[in-house]
Amino acid sequence: MRFREIIILVSLLLLTGCQQVDKPSLENITVRLIHDKVRNTVSTSSSNVRDLLSEQGIGLGPLDRISPSQSTLLTNGMDITIIRVEEQLQNEEIVVPFEKQVVRNDGLPVGESRLLQTGTSGLEEITYRIVTEDGVIASKSILRRTMMQQPIDEIVMVGSQASYTVVPIEGSLAYISSGNAWIMSKSSGIRQPLTVNGVLDGRIFQLSNDSRYLLYSGKPNKEEDLEKTFNQLWVVGTDNSSSEPLTLKVQNVLWAAWSPTEEFTIAYSTGEPRKTAPGWQAHNDLNIATFNEVDTEVEHTTILEPSAGGSYGWYGMQFAWAPNGTYIAYAQADRIGIIDLSKPADPVKEQLTSFSHYQTWTDWVWIPALTWSPDSRFLYTISHGDPIGLELPEDSQIFNISALAQDGSFQATLAERTGIWSNPVVSPMTSTGFQVAFLQANSPLQSVNSGYTLSVMEQDGSNVKAIFPISGETALKPQNVNWSPNGKQLALIHRGNLWIVGNESSVSQQLTSDGQTSKPSWAH
């Protein structure tokens, strides 16, 4: 009998133990729940974070973040944090200031002026994408820019004295007028046309170092050829107005320039036509062509094979041949480098610097301009600076002029906030060194649409001075200015006409009056 009692007692103890094991083990877990700027300590029997949220009736938005993840098992004293993330679009309208144009009229007495057109500011709408975390702005980036209303320039007509004065011209100064090439030699009164068919497209236009030849690009003569060819490369002699242009048998040229050291030698890069903007697909190649003026034979050598060219390669690359002929610099939307031609059979391509591309939000790509120092040791260019607000790097409106050492040893900013189209140009070497001309944006933080002023600084960025136009006159449009061979004057386009400006004196002289002049090129 006693044995049976002992068996019954043991059975009861075992049954009691089983019932205790079956009870929930998380009954007394305490956790801290942080959400919506509130910190609560809660006691829960839930097993994981997801169940806890359900128990507490807390929902998550599509962008909300939670730490730890919802599948994490709960432990006593655990912190569970929910960050409320929201995204919204915000539109901001900014005023785009109008430019003032001054038109000189020989028919009005000196000192008299008339208002021809009242200026009106434009309006640009900027759409921002704003991301907030628990109500605090975490990021703000530009989604798109829309010009709601174009600014209208104020135009004032002022009286001026007699006709343009004939001035001496050092070397030869070529320019495009109404689709034809013209050249002035020795004097602004001695000018002649080099072409008469009106097909120059203005993409390539450069005098050789001795000014004996002009390299230019022109549209095909036949309309049916435009589907396969948007331009062709030509050379014409400048010594005789009856010289026949020589075809270099190169089509669809995006960039070309004379060799600084070899006669009858050029470098060029090509693309292919596209019906969509911008009208071409770049090959991102680089070639050298050597021709003979006697038998018109042209030899072509490939330096860079065609390539995709990166994420913005469809737009193409910019190049600049160093004065020593050994290097060709290249620029893309997000990098700058050099190509060493000292071994033509195996040229070396080396990157010097990289930067954030500029997001244009349209069908064009910004590529920084390049110019070499006379000794081929430094590259002067435009650098895309860091943003000054919460915008993304690619939306930054900061553009500076910088110098890069050819050997990659350093990079220095010489002038800040000069503008996206500041386009530095280095002068010839003189007894005191060289200078850098550039365009300074009148509205540096809106430089894409800004007017510009021609300025000059020393090679180290010191002694910056504005020289043209004078305050109150019509600002310059984006362009590449040209130094005279002796570095004393600069040629530029102002209100559609060719002007020269003294570097030291700032004295200016208008040389054409047709309003259709472009692309000056100045050489010995």
pLDDT in tens, the chain (524 residues): 455 665 655 565 555 554 444 444 446 789 999 998 889 999 998 999 999 999 999 999 999 999 999 999 999 999 999 999 999 999 999 999 998 887 665 446 667 888 878 999 999 999 999 999 999 999 999 999 999 999 998 888 777 544 567 899 999 999 998 889 999 999 998 888 999 888 999 999 999 999 999 999 999 977 667 779 999 999 999 987 667 899 999 999 999 999 999 999 999 999 999 999 999 999 999 999 999 877 678 999 999 999 999 889 999 999 999 999 999 999 999 999 999 999 877 889 999 999 999 999 999 999 999 999 999 999 999 999 999 988 899 999 999 999 999 999 999 999 999 999 999 999 999 888 999 999 999 999 999 999 999 999 999 999 999 999 988 889 999 999 999 999 999 999 999 999 999 999 999 999 988 788 999 999 99
135, amino acid identity: G
* Pair (77, 93) in one structural domain: no
> How many residues comprise the chain?
524
Residue 150, domain member (yes or no): yes
Residue 149, domain member (yes or no): yes
Residue 468, domain member (yes or no): no
Residue 7, domain member (yes or no): yes
* Pair (63, 121) in one structural domain: no
Residue 257, domain member (yes or no): no
Q: How far is CA 300 from CA 105, 250, 257, 477, in A?
A: 51, 10, 14, 36
Joined together, the tokens standing for residue 52 give 């806890």
Exposed, middle or buried, 163 (CB in 10 Å: 0-12/13-18/19+)? exposed
* Pair (13, 54) in one structural domain: yes
- Torsion sign, CA atoms 150, 387, 439, 337: negative
Residue 29, domain member (yes or no): yes
* Pair (79, 90) in one structural domain: no
Residue 44, domain member (yes or no): yes
Joined together, the tokens standing for residue 57 give 């009736």
Q: Beta strand pairing status for 79-83 and 29-35?
A: parallel
Determine the Cα–Cα distance for residues 168 and 488; give it in Å rounded to an integer: 13
Residue 363, domain member (yes or no): no
Joined together, the tokens standing for residue 105 give 């009229």
Q: How far is CA 126 from CA 146, 148, 448, in A?
A: 6, 10, 14
Joined together, the tokens standing for residue 250 give 């190169």
Among 46, 63, 83, the domain-final residue is 83
User: Could you tell me the CATH number of the domain that includes residue 34?
Assistant: 3.10.20.30
Smallest CA-to-CA distance from 122 within 451, 402, 401, 440 is with 451
Determine the Cα–Cα distance for residues 524 and 116; give it in Å rounded to an integer: 41
C-alpha torsion angle, residues 486, 183, 474, 465 (rounded to 10): -10
* Pair (45, 112) in one structural domain: no
Determine the Cα–Cα distance for residues 308 and 282; give it in Å rounded to an integer: 8
- Give, as one character, the DSSP assignment of residue 73: B
Determine the Cα–Cα distance for residues 447 and 397; give it in Å rounded to an integer: 8
* Pair (65, 94) in one structural domain: no
Range of the domain at 112: 86-159
- Torsion sign, CA atoms 367, 373, 378, 380: negative
Among 64, 83, 102, the domain-final residue is 83
* Pair (58, 71) in one structural domain: yes
Determine the Cα–Cα distance for residues 110 and 106; give it in Å rounded to an integer: 8
* Pair (63, 98) in one structural domain: no
* Pair (70, 91) in one structural domain: no
SS3 state at 437: strand
* Pair (78, 123) in one structural domain: no
Number of domains in the chain: 2
HEC profile of 229-298: CCCEEEEEECCCCCCCCEEEEEECEEEEEECCCCCCEEEEEEEEECCCCCCEEECCCEEEEEECCCCCCE
Among 159, 180, 205, the domain-final residue is 159
* Pair (101, 46) in one structural domain: no
User: Could you tell me the CATH number of the domain that includes residue 148?
Assistant: 2.20.230.10
Joined together, the tokens standing for residue 220 give 């095909």
Neighbours of 299 (CB within 10 A): 10
